[in-house]
């Protein structure tokens, strides 16, 4: 089982040691001509957040911006006998960008991109008809959560792999991969605890995601009658626990935490490691520093090897807690994401 890790530089490939950890890589690429034409907005100049992105990471630092750097990354991947998959997974593309989208696809195809993570069904169809050599990974944003959705995408001849959305359970994934043993799948082993499932997200990301806003709550009885102090304290306590689970960036400042808002599915490997058509586990940390990405690669590889060698859930949890830097991480359940 491989590990799919994001990169933002051609140098990341060597740093993430694919020959040691069996990593594959994915990335975004936003050319300067696209930025100039479609992102002349205050949001972009203030925080480099794109209002018309090409993929689902609209912050510029999470993407390559130079075609020669992307070409170098592809060459480095070939040297290490691994893969680079390009994210072309905006949820849809408006008609006014179609011409430039064709230009973009041709540009990355020429430098050697042969695999893409795609969401828009029209783009999947376009690639199938015009670039049959490019294989498609169906994005987690397509919300493939049942067997009929798998059947639909399997009819595209260029679809090579389907990526499950982050909120899928072990039971749900198992039932699908068993039904389609000849189709390749991938799921998230480490992610962030977004309130919304991938394809159902309606957050506004141009400035900052609205799910990160801190809302003030007030409590009262039906009809406006006040609560007792004890009742309100209990509600506030529950709200605090909820916020800590869903948005735990504050915890990331403590020594040992490798990413904020960490979500872990490592225990899923006990069951899912046995399915050979689950080809990879994915890390959702595009735009993060190389140290954080390497830490998660090491955590993922250790968990995979533990499960492969018959390790128990307790052994995987012990390893993750040690690597993560918090002994009671699993006991608290604040990072648990997929059961």
3-class DSSP state of 86: strand
Report, as an integer, the average pLDDT of 123-135.
Answer: 97
Q: How far is CA 208 from CA 154, 200, 213, in A?
A: 35, 18, 9
**Is the predicted pLDDT of residue 116 greater than 90, yes or no?**
yes
Orientation angle between helical segments 147-154 and 170-179, nearest 10 degrees: 40
The helix (run of H) or strand (run of E) holding residue 292 is helix 290-308
Which pLDDT band, with edges at 50, 70 and 90, does 208 fall under? low
Task: Tell me what pLDDT residue 211 has.
Answer: 61
Rounded to whole angstroms, how far apart are CA atoms 5 and 12? 10
Are 105 and 127 spatial neighbours (Cβ–Cβ below 8 Å)?
yes
Question: Using one digit for the tens of pLDDT, what is the confidence trace for 258-317?
Answer: 556 788 999 999 999 999 999 999 998 888 889 989 999 999 999 999 999 999 999 999
Task: Tell me what pLDDT residue 248 has.
Answer: 54
Structure tokens at 307: 């499960």
Report, as an integer, the average pLDDT of 90-104.
Answer: 91
**Is the predicted pLDDT of residue 84 greater than 70, yes or no?**
yes
Question: Using one digit for the tens of pLDDT, what is the confidence trace for 40-50?
Answer: 766 666 666 66
Structure tokens at 65: 């911006």
Rounded to whole angstroms, how far apart are CA atoms 104 and 100? 6
**For 2-193+260-332, CATH number?**
3.20.20.80
3-class DSSP state of 279: strand
Torsions phi, psi for 181 (to 5 deg): -70, -15
Lowest mean pLDDT, pick from 94-98, 103-107, 170-174, 303-307: 94-98
Angle at 105 between CA 13 and CA 154, to 5 degrees: 85
Task: Tell me what pLDDT residue 65 has.
Answer: 92
Torsions phi, psi for 96 (to 5 deg): -70, -10
**Is the predicted pLDDT of residue 339 greater than 80, yes or no?**
no
Q: pTM for the full model? A: 0.85
Report, as an integer, the average pLDDT of 76-101.
Answer: 93
Task: Tell me what pLDDT residue 204 has.
Answer: 55
Which pLDDT band, with edges at 50, 70 and 90, does 249 fall under? low
Which pLDDT band, with edges at 50, 70 and 90, does 210 fall under? low
User: In the chain, where are the structural domains located?
Assistant: 2-193+260-332
Task: Tell me what pLDDT residue 218 has.
Answer: 86
Report, as an integer, the average pLDDT of 191-220.
Answer: 68
Please give the distance of CA 118 from its chain centroid, rounded to a whole number.
Answer: 13
Which pLDDT band, with edges at 50, 70 and 90, does 213 fall under? low
Q: How far is CA 175 from CA 11, 159, 160, 251, 273, in A?
A: 39, 20, 19, 35, 14
């Amino acid at each position: 089982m491989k590990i799919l890790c994001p990169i933002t530089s051609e140098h990341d490939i060597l740093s993430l040691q694919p020959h040691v950890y069996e990593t594959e890589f994915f990335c975004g690429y936003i050319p300067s001509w696209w930025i100039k034409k479609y992102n002349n907005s205050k949001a972009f100049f203030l925080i480099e957040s794109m209002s018309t992105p090409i993929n689902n990471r609209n912050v510029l630092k999470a993407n390559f911006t130079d075609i020669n750097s992307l070409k170098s990354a592809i060459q480095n991947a070939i040297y290490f006998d691994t893969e680079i998959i390009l994210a072309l997974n905006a949820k849809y593309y408006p008609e006014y960008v179609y011409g430039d989208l064709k230009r973009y696809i041709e540009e990355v195809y020429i430098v050697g991109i042969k695999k893409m993570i795609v969401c828009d069904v029209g783009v999947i169809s376009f690639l199938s008809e015009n670039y049959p050599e490019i294989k498609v990974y169906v994005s987690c944003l397509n919300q493939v959560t049942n067997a009929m959705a798998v059947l639909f995408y399997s009819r595209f001849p260029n679809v090579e792999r389907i990526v499950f959305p982050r909120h899928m359970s072990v039971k749900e994934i198992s039932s699908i991969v068993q039904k389609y043993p000849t189709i390749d799948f991938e799921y998230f082993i480490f992610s962030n605890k977004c309130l919304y499932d991938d394809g159902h997200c309606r957050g506004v990301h141009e400035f900052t995601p609205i799910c990160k806003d801190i809302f003030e709550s007030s409590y009262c009885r039906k009809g406006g009658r006040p609560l007792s102090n004890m009742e309100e304290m209990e509600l506030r306590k529950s709200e605090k626990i909820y916020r800590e689970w869903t948005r735990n960036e504050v915890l990331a400042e403590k020594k040992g935490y490798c990413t904020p808002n960490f979500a872990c599915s490592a225990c899923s490997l006990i069951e899912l490691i046995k399915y050979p058509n689950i080809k990879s586990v994915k890390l959702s940390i595009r735009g993060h520093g190389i140290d954080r990405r390497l830490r998660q690669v090491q955590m993922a590889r250790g968990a995979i090897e533990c499960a492969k060698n018959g390790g128990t859930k307790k052994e995987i949890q012990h390893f993750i807690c040690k690597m993560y830097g918090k002994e009671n991480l699993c006991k608290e359940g604040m990072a648990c994401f997929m059961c």
